[in-house]
Amino acid sequence: MVLTGDNLTDAQPGFDSQTQEPVVNLTLDGKGARIFKDVTRDNVGKRMAIILFEKGKGEVVTAPVIRAEIGGGRVQISGRMTTAEANDTALLLRAGSLAAPMEIIEERTIGPSLGAENIAKGFNSVTWGFVVIVAFMAIYYAMFGVFSGIALGVNLLLLVAVLSLLQATLTLPGMAAMALALGMAIDSNVLINERVREELRNGVSPQAAIHAGYDRAWSTILDSNITTLIAGVALLAFGSGPVRGFAVVHCIGILTSMFSAVLFSRGLVNLWYGGKKKLKSVSIGTVWRPEAGTAVKAD
């Protein structure tokens, strides 16, 4: 054995600059380059076998003919190979340069039906979560709850649209992040609705209560979303694989929820109530007055 995988630093597929045929380009370290130069000088016209050893058994990967003395540590393997064969050969050579052998502990084959089932369950969880949230908001906050539900639907559409523009693959962690985004998005509407209720409880007129409720809730919504966005960016920066997929949907969901929960819902409320010159009441559920021990219904 003249050289080992320890002397191989890289192996990449490529194309010959003159014939445009697929080739494999090898890069040797300093010691390997010196040995290879001497071997090729003394064995021009002979074949040199490249053997991959695994568990004590050797298998010839390729056996090219030495055409000339090769120095400098850069070697090119060519001759009647397809692009796929060049890719496979380069991959095998890189694997052969690993310091430790690979031992397969367990091997499983997963069919497409299992993945389809998991995706269906993910969609069902998002759908049912959306339906339950919208139903609760409509019951608890009346017309303002309906506005919140519409804004939540717009948030979901925006999130899917942005992911489509980015050509992102929706995985199970991504669906989990989408379900989490729905819950976080409705939090903003809860803050806004409770602020409006608080203003009505203090005797403020409905139109002024709507204006003050959105303005005063905005700072709280901004602070909570920024801190959550920082956590998402940290996951995106330091995570990998499924964690990064979760972080991408999580961060986009935060941005779309801030738009839909504040700007879009406020537009809906202004469209519904803004045209009324003398607004006497708003439909936001029961406005409790703890100090009087009674409840006043704002219809």
pLDDT tens-digit readout, 72-113: 778 888 777 788 888 887 887 776 554 445 566 666 665 555
- Measured between alpha carbons, how far is 268 from 224 in angstroms, rounded to an integer? 23
Q: Which two tokens stand for residue 278?
A: 């003398």
Q: Which two tokens stand for residue 105?
A: 């502990």
- Distances 59 to 10, 85, 205, 219, 249 between C-alpha atoms, Å: 20, 16, 85, 67, 46
* Per-residue model confidence (pLDDT) at position 239: 79
**Mean pLDDT over all residues of the chain?**
78
Angle at 244 between CA 242 and CA 248, to 5 degrees: 120
Kindly report the pTM of this predicted structure.
0.55
* Per-residue model confidence (pLDDT) at position 262: 82
Write down the H helix ranges in the chain: 30-42, 83-96, 112-165, 172-201, 206-238, 242-258, 265-273
Beta pairing partners, 23 = 14
pLDDT tens-digit readout, 181-220: 888 788 888 888 888 888 888 888 888 888 888 888 888 8
Which domains does the chain show, CATH number per domain? Answer: 5-96 (3.30.1360.200), 114-297 (1.20.1640.10)
